[in-house]
Amino acid sequence: MKHHVTVGVDGSPESRAAARWGTREAALRQVPLRLVHAVDWPEAPLVPRPGRENADRWADEALTEALEDVRLRHPRVEVTTRCLSGRPAAALAAEAADAGLLVLGSRGLGRLAGFLIGSVSLSTLVATQTPVVLVRDTGEPQEAGTAPFGEIVVGLDIHEATDRVLSFAFAEADRRGCALRAVHGWKLPAAYAYVPFSDPADERAIGLSVTQMLDDTLLPWRHKYPNVDVTHQAFMGSAGARLVMAAAGADLVVVGRHLRRSPLGAHLGPVAHAVLHHAGAPVAVIAH
């Protein structure tokens, strides 16, 4: 079984935030934590030895700094470190294969410009089927586990397979003892684009039908996790933009992404893309 939580660290403020988030998650799950750093160097003839030594020293410093910080905050969590060799995205994806969760840092660009995922995080995200959480550095101090957990928001497409996404979201809410809010965005059928005017009654009827479908999707998970306080919301409009708004103030946002066999493209849908770049909370991406 996949037990431990893996966190990629590189000495940046974002990776420190990711390590702290990952440690608290490992404590919640009562599993070990593994801190990893990937060093990308070609073979010896092309790289002077002093440069390699500097890279190795940087890796040791990044891992040691993260290790000391998380042990201070959660002394009971079992923590190990590992220095990986190879291209960071590929090395992290391979490392995530036997982990229950991979946590990475995500660089912020500010509220207006949104957030930049970064090439390593994005490439790692689409190369693994392990759940990945991207964590921002908000600049605010993180408590060592004493602060209560806030709401979890999960974005759903009720016309797609949602079991893996809902399984992760409900399990997180259950172990945290927090509320879960499920949101779904819908649009009028394409045929309405050719209608000169729409009947508000039709929109209300469609909205009620979609809300009922969302409620039906959640019903078996409510039975499986009776202690989780669940609310749901279906709205007409851009799912990505509205999900970002719904996620304001949330502790965690959960979205899905399609598994794709094609090597081309970013492998992220528009909703996941919008949330990853613009939601301020940590974002969990679940491949399905």
Express each pLDDT in 226-249 by its tens digit.
999 999 988 877 777 878 888 888
182's CB contacts (< 8 A; 6+ apart) are 153, 154, 156, 166, 169, 214, 218, 230, 231, 232, 233
Which residue reads 């910080």 in tokens?
69
Cβ(212)–Cβ(232) below 8 Å = no
Q: Which of 96, 122, 147 marks a domain boundary?
A: 147
Q: Are residues 124 and 163 in the same domain?
A: no
- Domain identity same for 134 and 43: yes
For the stretch 127-166, pLDDT in tens is 889 999 999 887 665 655 567 788 999 998 888 888 999 9
Per-residue pLDDT tens over the stretch 39-50: 765 444 444 544
DSSP state of 193: G
**CATH number for the domain harbouring residue 246:** 3.40.50.12370
Tell me: pLDDT of 251 over 80: yes
Final residue before a domain boundary, out of 147, 162, 190: 147
Residues 187 and 64 in one domain: no
- Please indicate whether residue 219 or residue 108 has the higher confidence score (pLDDT): 219
CATH number of the domain residue 133 falls in: 3.40.50.620
> Is the same domain home to 102 and 152?
no
Mean local confidence (pLDDT), 200-215: 79
If you average pLDDT over residues 75-82, what whole number do you get?
Answer: 94
Average pLDDT over residues 162-190: 89
Q: Is the predicted pLDDT of residue 122 greater than 90, yes or no?
A: no
What total number of domains does the chain contain? 2
Question: What pairing do the DSSP bridges indicate for beta strands 180-186 and 230-236?
Answer: parallel
> Of 105, 132, 147, which residue constitutes the final position of a domain?
147
pLDDT above 70: residue 119: no
Better pLDDT: 143 or 204: 204
Task: Quote the pTM value.
Answer: 0.84
